[in-house]
Structure 1
């Protein structure tokens, strides 16, 4: 039976899956625009630091004010309405919420909400890739101990890539490389919230619509978001990051199997079984032909001459040898697709992509020469961008994860392009996010034999 049929059955039996959303920003608003339209799903509560902002988001995507009259999750469950609150912890702890969605974008908040969900024996969908990359491998273990599901978010690129990787492996194909497309140029690493809109070409009217956060969008442009998403894919798909960061080769969909194959075969990959991001513009800023800016891909190899023939017979684009081919999806709809995760957890008991081993990490890297006494401002800010590295290397070198590069003061100068280390900053080891991250580092360092 399909997901939709099972949801309709739950609706007919008056036992909808009860959902709580944390964060009514862009991703959350996109989910809210669809949540009412799906049978068998009841959005019990929306938690946001600003309930007024959450109500405004709900109104903007079409929710009637009378649907928001509930004063508690219990009242919402009984009346078929939705409760809006600023108390995320209370919402998570409610017995009337089955699945929590963290769409905050705050690494520290995401870790906290995950731990609260585990304590409440509540499933959680982690839209918050920043939190997942910061501590996801440890959180996944905690979720398993609690007997709940810790899932990637359908519609976001890591989950879509994980689905494609799973498809290839399940039909017997070795995944050579998996990843996504984006608009990238090396100069974008220095982009700031002040320069971001010029690079994107957004109009003042678009920026003023309420859905556009300059620092968040700058994290897409300066390479940080790509690094985070590829770390999540590496951790969820048993793939290995490049040894010195993403290459971002300019590449259109027809060239995926030519460019994203091993160096020994004429490609750019230093190894098989890796992640990469392809750029939609050339290094001279010309547009790439048939670019994959909004999409995802997987490159795989024919295991036999017969399968190679099948690739050709059914029109797959391959490299010149016919051995390497690619499958891709040109678009993703982020929050509009999130209902797939809700349905999969509710009726199949399955995550839509799940963090596993710790393979990739993202370290804070100086955008410019930084001076002792400066305060770091995190993803998409003015001081640092995130660089993808192999997790054992990050731990061995003491790299400061980008997810913790918020409001930390530098103790020493850091030249442009250099990784920021734990030793470079003042930090409070008792803070929850730092404590969880350091526990993950200690656990895996012992497993890797680094201590």
Structure 2
């Protein structure tokens, strides 16, 4: 609980933590609105392909125009201002940079930026959970070997869930399940950018589809983002996915310990020590009261009768047996909380969650029947969604990771719901992201 004090000391010593951000989208803008106000933080530079749009984003985030009135990184380093560029490579190489944040959402770009940051001696905060799900375990190993920090993004749900797990284990509890809430119905797996708008309108105050990225929002509903995020959790904690991936059972905050317990105890889980995402909708489409749509949770097991007695005495959210109990966080603030990761990496040399192994994968799964010659369009698109799968199963069956299921062509017909394999597609084996992923598979096989 000393990060703010440590940042204050850096400010007193005129040695602020200097940060570079790649990607000025929603997550990035939420970080920027707080970073400007955080003692001991200097945003040295921001890289985005559309500088004009970025300037508008900064104004909405409360930045005065004079903060970015500088002509170079060296000028920004001396003046405390922020240099804007369309070159991620130039930002990564800028003198004085301590921490790089990748908030692009592009797995191939995230791998490329992370490796460049490691070569240049920068700590990395990987907001880009798509890159982490595709190859995070090997990226974390590369950073560690270089004496650097590779970290999940505090404020985003995977890092918060990893903290729940760490809390439980530090207190001596067995972790039965950890995860988050979302809005889910089975037919959402077939949603596309053309059909998702009607569903979004049913619960979000949106009036104009042109104001949002429908492909990105679709990934939150079709099950893909949940699979990606729970894969990040598993790889950071050692939890193992359920045999058939996420089941998305409906559950309120107060039912977590009853629903997210093993089947042998009356719950829904195929194993203990796993992940699950609970739905805020019952299967008939009605809202679950007191749902956890924006929150995170952990279910723990008491190992002694006395611990179970304490669950009751201190009003833990226990199941009917008193054996299991839940702790939850009702919401998360994504980029507005990202400063915790930045400060932890720079000042403590400690990640706020990072891969420790390859335990989970996200497999490209067909949204519809497709023919040989059809092209896949990746996360949130028209053709595939991402299903969580134990990494051992994915490797044994040669499954195609979702992060590489973009702009690749099918070699044969596939059925709706089929989990795709490498043999189902034509892959460019000279692609850097493909080669790095294959290297990771060999390293963790």
Measured against the shorter chain, the TM-score band is over 0.9
Match of 1:313 in 2: 313
How many residue pairs are counted as aligned between the two chains?
443
Decide whether the 8 Å contact of 1:73 with 1:96 is kept in 2: no
Shift of 1:77: 1.0
Match of 1:135 in 2: 135
The residue correspondences of 1:260-279 to structure 2 (distance < 5 A) are 260-279=260-279
Q: Which deviations, in whole Å up to 9, do the C-alpha atoms of 1:159-179 show, x marking residues without a partner?
A: 000011101110111100000
Decide whether the 8 Å contact of 2:148 with 2:349 is kept in 1: no
Q: Secondary structure at the match of 1:408?
A: strand
How far apart, CA to CA, are the structure 2 residues paired with 1:214 and 1:377?
14
Match of 2:150 in 1: 150
Match of 2:161 in 1: 161
Match of 1:125 in 2: 125
Shift of 1:205: 3.7
Match of 1:10 in 2: 10
Q: Secondary structure at the match of 2:300?
A: strand
How far apart, CA to CA, are the structure 2 residues paired with 1:203 and 1:309?
45
- Please, which moves more after superposition, 403-412 or 17-26? 403-412
How far apart, CA to CA, are the structure 1 residues paired with 2:197 and 2:65?
33
How far apart, CA to CA, are the structure 2 residues paired with 1:16 and 1:227?
37
Q: Is 1:26 aligned to 2:19, yes or no?
A: no
Match of 1:397 in 2: 397
Decide whether the 8 Å contact of 1:18 with 1:98 is kept in 2: yes
Shift of 1:325: 0.3
Q: Which deviations, in whole Å up to 9, do the C-alpha atoms of 1:354-373 show, x marking residues without a partner?
A: 11110000010000011111
Shift of 1:234: 0.4
Shift of 1:88: 0.5
TM-score normalised per structure 2: 0.98
How far apart, CA to CA, are the structure 1 residues paired with 2:105 and 2:56?
19
Decide whether the 8 Å contact of 1:118 with 1:148 is kept in 2: yes
Shift of 1:244: 1.1
Q: Is 1:345 aligned to 2:345, yes or no?
A: yes
- Please, which moves more after superposition, 176-185 or 389-398? 389-398
Match of 2:56 in 1: 56
Decide whether the 8 Å contact of 2:240 with 2:275 is kept in 1: yes
How far apart, CA to CA, are the structure 1 residues paired with 2:122 and 2:206?
41
Decide whether the 8 Å contact of 2:241 with 2:388 is kept in 1: yes
Q: Taking structure 1 as reference, are residues 228 and 434 closer, same or farther at Cα in structure 2, changes over 3 Å only?
A: same
Decide whether the 8 Å contact of 1:218 with 1:381 is kept in 2: yes
How far apart, CA to CA, are the structure 1 residues paired with 2:122 and 2:5?
24
Decide whether the 8 Å contact of 2:379 with 2:385 is kept in 1: yes
Gaps of 5+ in 2: none
Match of 1:183 in 2: 183
Shift of 1:114: 0.7
Match of 1:71 in 2: 71
How far apart, CA to CA, are the structure 2 residues paired with 1:56 and 1:410?
40
Q: CA RMSD in A?
A: 1.1
Decide whether the 8 Å contact of 1:35 with 1:339 is kept in 2: yes
The residue correspondences of 1:21-420 to structure 2 (distance < 5 A) are 21-201=21-201, 202-205=204-207, 207-208=209-210, 210=211, 212-420=212-420
Decide whether the 8 Å contact of 2:123 with 2:346 is kept in 1: no
Shift of 1:188: 0.2
How far apart, CA to CA, are the structure 2 residues paired with 1:255 and 1:416?
33
How far apart, CA to CA, are the structure 2 residues paired with 1:430 and 1:176?
41
How far apart, CA to CA, are the structure 2 residues paired with 1:53 and 1:401?
32
How far apart, CA to CA, are the structure 2 residues paired with 1:215 and 1:339?
28
How far apart, CA to CA, are the structure 2 residues paired with 1:147 and 1:156?
25
Decide whether the 8 Å contact of 1:8 with 1:39 is kept in 2: yes
Match of 1:423 in 2: 423
How far apart, CA to CA, are the structure 2 residues paired with 1:94 and 1:435?
27
Q: Which deviations, in whole Å up to 9, do the C-alpha atoms of 1:226-272 show, x marking residues without a partner?
A: 00000000000110001111010000111111111111111111111
How far apart, CA to CA, are the structure 1 residues paired with 2:291 and 2:99?
36
TM-score normalised per structure 1: 0.96
How far apart, CA to CA, are the structure 1 residues paired with 2:292 and 2:10?
38
